[in-house]
Amino acid sequence: MLFLVVASNLKAQQIPQYSQWFWNLLALNPAHSGIKPCQEIKAVYRNQWANLNGSPNTGLLTFSTPIYVLRKRIYTPRQGAGFKIESEKIGPFTMNRFNLSYAGHFNFSPDKRLSVGIAVGVRQWIFDKTKVTTLTPDPVIPESNSFVSPDASAGFWWNDKNYFLSLSFMELTASRWKNISNDSRFHFHTFFSAGYRKAINDKLTFLPFVLFRIPPKGPVSMDINAVFDYKNRIALGFGLRNTDAVNVVLQLKIKENFVLAYSFDYVVSNLSNNQFFTHEFSFAFGTCKQKIMGKTICPLF
């Protein structure tokens, strides 16, 4: 009775979050599909709040490619496509997602571009009752079950030579949790992000980023990141997430096409008393050719 009176509302993470989001923008916005004139494949593994029983463990794979068509004029709209495969486990729940994405890219000058994208696919949601323990049998908790529902997202992207603005909307279908809960459902989420590139000299570039995760209920999550890129070979960054942690990220570019990265989150929320850290690893391969060696050209777009 006391719990029902005091806990008037509960808030929880419903969409996976990443500390290295600025290195994989297709994970947040389908308008980034095929934005570069080359193919890119990226993989991420995130162990959030390591050693906490039931904490989120997330795997992500994205692929992006331009759609090559004959362009009649220099500013003829371009097209791009991609896909996203995502899997996350949180306590008794498992989420598997597959999306196909398409984007149109409209240049207003050699550097100014507007992109509009949409992603559609399916999501599998699984509930495992064996991972839930109660003091006495609870009739409210259903049996183990799973369901598949449609999934969709949309996004807009604008960039100039040295900055970008991104707005995307996820969970557009707002599907109910069939055979798992009578009242629960996926909720519409909004993401806004921006980034800027400032060349300090020919070897060092400063890249600040900001991301707002806006859920329908609960606090807004904000990421602020500052990355220093040296000769487009090694990057070191620092970040703050207002609801959770501070982090440090390190990226290493191997030769021209392979990229490895690692981030470490030091939790500063109430979980910090138990010293639960977050680890995130990523790998990327791209076919883009660097025009000027040793200088950061446009690492994001």
Q: Note the pLDDT tens digit of each residue in 275-301.
A: 778 999 999 999 887 655 545 445 555
Helical (H) or strand (E) element with 3: helix 2-6
pLDDT of residue 8: 46
For residues 254-263, average pLDDT: 90
- Using the structure block, give the residue that is written with the tokens 């193919």: 39
Given a cut of 50, is residue 76 above it in pLDDT?
yes
Binned at pLDDT 50, 70 and 90, residue 2 comes out as very low
Q: Return the bridge partners of 94, or none.
A: 89, 126
| Domains of the chain (ranges, CATH numbers) | 23-286 (2.40.160.60)
For residues 158-183, average pLDDT: 87
Neighbours of 44 (CB within 10 A): 25
Helical (H) or strand (E) element with 6: helix 2-6
Alpha carbon distance 241, 208 (integer Å): 14
For 301, the token pair is: 């777009």
Alpha carbon distance 29, 209 (integer Å): 15
For residues 56-85, average pLDDT: 89
